[in-house]
Each structure stands twice: as C-alpha cells, then as structure tokens.
Structure 1
Amino acid sequence: MKRTKKEELIRDHQPEMIRERLSRGPQRQNISDAVLGGIDGCITTFAVVSGSVGAGFPSSVAVILGFANLFADGFSMAISNYESGKAEQEYFESIKQSEERHIEEVPEGEREEIRQIFKAKGFKGELLEIIVDTITADKRIWLEIMLMEEHGIGKTTRNPSISACVTFLSFIAVGAIPLMPYIVSSLQVSQQFSMSAFLAGTMFFLIGMLKSLALAKPVFLSGVRTLLTGGAAAALAYFTAYYLREIFNISVG
C-alpha cells in the first residue's frame, strides 16, 4: 500500500502533471461550510428535542419548535456566512486596489518591499537583484507577491453565495434527521426520543468521519470528538429545561 502511494506521488510530480495541476489554479473547497452547517443544524434541532423532553412538553411541541428553529436558524446562519464571505471579498478587493495604486505611484518603494521580503528569505547580492527585477517586470506577478507576502492573502477567496447555499442546505438536510421520529405519531415519547438521539448521534459521528476523510485525519477519533460535542450540547439543553421546570414548578398536563 505504501509503495502504491509513493508511485502515485511520483506520477503526480512528473513535469507534465505539475504543469496541468498548476494551470488549473487553486480550487476553493466548501467542506468547512458543509461541516459547519451540518453540525450546527443537528445540534440545533436535537437541542430543541432534548429541551422539550427535559421540560416535559408533548411531542407536537418538539416538532413545531424543531422545524421552526431548523429553517429560521438555517437561514440566519446562511446569511451570516454570506455576509462574512462578502466582507472578506470586499477586504481583498480593497487591499488589491491599494497595492495596485502603490505600484503605479511609488514603484521604487514597492520594489524595495520586494527586495526586503526576499532578503528576509535568505537571498542576497546579485541573485536578490535578479529576483527583484524578474518579479517587478510583470505587474500581475508583482501584485500577487505583494498580496501574499505583505498581507497574507492568497489567490482564492470564498464565494459568498456558494458558501451560504452549502451552509443552508447542509443545515436543513442534517438538522431535519433528529426530527423524523417525531413525525411518526404511533411511537411513544420515550421511543421517539431514543430514536432521535440515536439518529443525531449517528449524524454527529458520520460528519466527523467525513470531515477527517476529506482532510486525511484519523477517522474514528474525529467522529467521536464530533459526537461528544453534539452530545454535550444536547445534554446542556435537556438539563437546563429540566431544572428550569423544577425551579418554576411548571406542570405539563
């Protein structure tokens, strides 16, 4: 297996493969948006379910509050993600315009910045000057280097619309699963809650596993960590509702 992976690495680092990969440019990944939306959606609805059970409310309350929170929170989270991505995009554009203006108005000062950047990397003498001349000969490359080295901004930024859609869809898709048992009216409340808890726990674990697979991290540990996070949130909702019911002596008939 190790030999196969090494052979794949060797093949992927052949000149023609490198040329093809670099020509495509960096690809924006939305796995973080999907994971965030999925986990938050599942936590939101199962926390509502747990809180309803802890407070002694009937199943209908869990369903109504669960779906109301599912769509409202999903929409709110998507909008928040959109605004965050939009702000990031606008910041990138403002910095880019600023650097373009600096290159046009004070080129020697910007050349000196390039010189200082690569001097700090260990280049010096004639080689350093060749690097400076080569980079500043192409304004597109010059601008990219300044954005990356001075401001830490890469070539890719989030697409706000795509991020918002991915977050919303994953929030709704995963968040609806813990509510499914409550749609089956023939089940007893204890059975509904047990099935909901099982489904929610399964989703937490699977999301953690999928995240780790995409990022080449330990699968099982990531699944358990996500499961514990979701379980802790649900337990907090359950016991908060339970103790508040006791404190205020609320009786649910």
Structure 2
Amino acid sequence: MKQRLERLYLPEFVYGGIDGSVTTFAVVAGAIGASLSAGIVLILGFANLFADGFSMALSNYLSVKSQGDLHRYHRDKNKNTEAKHPFKTGLATFLSFVVIGFIPLVSFVLALFFSSLEPYKLTISIVFTGLAFLFVGAVKGKIVKKHPFYAAIETLIIGGIAASLAFAVGYFLRGLAG
C-alpha cells in the first residue's frame, strides 16, 4: 500500500513541493531585490502560495481527469497503468505546494514576533529554502532508487537558479516600486 501511494503520488509531491518552494522564494527574492518591505513580501508570498497552489491543484485535477477520460474513451484495457484519482492528485499537489512553499516565508512570519530575527530574515529564508530543496530532492531520490545526495543537489541547483533569476529581475526593476 505504501509503495503504491509513493508511486502514484510522488510526482505530485515533487512537483508541488519544488514549485511551491521555488515560486514562493522567487517572489520573496524578487521583492527583496526590489527593496520592498517585509509586509509586502508576506502579502505577495502568501498570495502566491495559495493562488498558485490552488491553480496547480486544479490543473493537476483536470489533467488526471482528462487522462482517465481519454483511457475510457479509447477503452484501453491493455494499458497496464494504475489509475490516479483526480481529486487526490490535486490535493497532493496543493498540500505539497502549500506546506513546502511556506518554508521561504517562515523567517518573515517569525520576524513579526521576534524582532531580533529582523536583520536575518532573508538569510534564514535562503537557508530554509535550500534545506527544503534538499529534502524534496532526497525524498525523490530515495523513492525512485537514485542516490538521495545527487537528487538533492540537483534540486538545490535548479531551485537556486530560479531564485537567483527572480532576485536579479527584482533588483533590476526595483525602481518601478517607487
């Protein structure tokens, strides 16, 4: 049962988790690059977290539902695949996106309550997000029988490139923020 769940929902966990942490950190990095306030970072971060997570979940739901409809239409009885439940795949995507995508915002939320963290919130966000990338990559590697270290490093590099790009865009467009 556990192996079946891992196999069926690993793509949703990996896709949702990586995209949640990358896009949320990209919003954080872009806002910081543009020298926006911590409050604006949180507003943009949470708006991204829930809107993008919900959008991805609905897209995944529709994709899996369409795939099932297509198989039924063609009456593909010989296809040796396990059917995914559209609602469950959408939910897995959303939960993974929101839970792991929240990690880049943790330091900004904590800084609201612990002022001593204020000067370190970006550094903490970078470290926590990097750890999230490593975690998702390692889990992916373990489940698909690849070396967890290499899968983790691959995910960290890809996420780091996306975050760096977002920071650079925010930095170069910072004058637009007024």
Q: TM-score, normalised by structure 1?
A: 0.64
Residue 51 of structure 1 pairs with residue 30 of structure 2: yes
Contact 1:66 1:179 in 2 (8 A): yes
Q: Give the SS at the match of 1:157.
A: coil
Query: Structure 1 segments of 4 or more deviating over 4 A?
Result: 187-190
**CA drift at 1:213:** 0.5
Q: Distance in 1 between matches of 2:52 and 2:131?
A: 22
**CA drift at 1:244:** 1.6
RMSD of Structure 2 on Structure 1 (CA)? 1.8
Equivalent of residue 211 in structure 1, options 140, 143, 146 = 140
Q: TM-score, normalised by structure 2?
A: 0.90
1:232 corresponding residue in structure 2: 161
Q: Distance in 1 between matches of 2:154 and 2:145?
A: 16
Q: Distance in 1 between matches of 2:93 and 2:11?
A: 9
**CA drift at 1:44:** 1.3
Q: Give the SS at the match of 1:56.
A: coil
Equivalence map 1:156-195=2 (5 Å): 156-183=82-109, 184-185=111-112, 186-187=115-116, 190-195=119-124
Q: Distance in 2 between matches of 1:205 and 1:240?
A: 24
Equivalent of residue 198 in structure 1, options 118, 124, 127 = 127
Residue 220 of structure 1 pairs with residue 146 of structure 2: no
Equivalence map 1:114-129=2 (5 Å): none
Contact 1:46 1:234 in 2 (8 A): yes
1:106 corresponding residue in structure 2: none
Equivalent of residue 72 in structure 2, options 93, 99, 102 = 93
Q: How many residues align?
A: 172
Unpaired runs of 5+ in structure 1? 1-23, 100-143, 148-152
Q: Distance in 1 between matches of 2:101 and 2:134?
A: 14
Q: Distance in 1 between matches of 2:101 and 2:64?
A: 23
Which of the pair has more CA radius of gyration?
A: 1
Name the CA shift for 1:83/1:251 in 2 (closer, same or farther; >3 Å). closer
Contact 1:213 1:219 in 2 (8 A): yes
1:243 corresponding residue in structure 2: 172
Unpaired runs of 5+ in structure 2? none
User: In the TM superposition, what whole-angstrom CA distance separates every residue of 1:165-218 from its partner, at most 9, and x where no partner exists?
Assistant: 100011110011110110123146541000000000000011100100011101
Equivalent of residue 81 in structure 1, options 37, 40, 60 = 60
Contact 2:36 2:177 in 1 (8 A): no
